[in-house]
Amino acid sequence: MDWICIESLSLDAVIGVYDWEQETRQMLTFDVELGTDIRPAAASDDLGDTLNYFAVAEEVKGFVRSQRPALLETLLEQLAQKLLAHKGVQVVRLSVLKHGCIPGAKGARLIIERSHA
């Protein structure tokens, strides 16, 4: 299994269970890992034969900013299913850090892994 990884993708989003959280944009930092086979792209040297990580990052940004879930669990599950729909993606690992949500801590992190199995 080969992995295409996007590290520390930070963006603001509306997320949370409290009323004030649904009215304020908060900082989230994502690590996105996509399990795939890069050999066709390596052989052809053609972007069309691989996952365009810039386009994936833009897709993640657009998706996250368009949602308003209460839970990180909901956001990550929906994002994982969206990314699994990409041709060639066999496994998705997502990690998100919600900054400043716990006094005295950098934040809270949730990590999930999903596959077609």
Per-residue pLDDT of the chain (117 residues), as tens digits, is 999 999 999 999 999 898 888 889 999 999 999 999 999 999 999 999 999 999 999 999 999 999 999 999 999 999 999 999 999 999 999 999 999 888 999 999 999 999 997
Q: What is the identity of the amino acid at 88?
A: G
pLDDT value, residue 101: 86
Q: Does domain 2-115 have CATH number 3.20.20.450?
A: no
Tokens of 14: 């509306």
Residues with a catalytic annotation lie at: 98
Please state, in angstroms and rounded to a whole number, the distance separating the CA atoms of residues 57 and 30. 10
pLDDT value, residue 16: 87
Please state the domain extents for the chain: 2-115
Please state, in angstroms and rounded to a whole number, the distance separating the CA atoms of residues 25 and 66. 12
Conformational region of residue 81, where left means phi above 0, alpha means psi within -120 to 50, and beta covers everything else: alpha
Q: CA 22, 26, 27: angle at the middle one, nearest 5?
A: 155
pLDDT value, residue 48: 93
Residues 74-87 as b/e (b if ≥16 CB within 10 A, e otherwise) read ebbeebbeebbeee
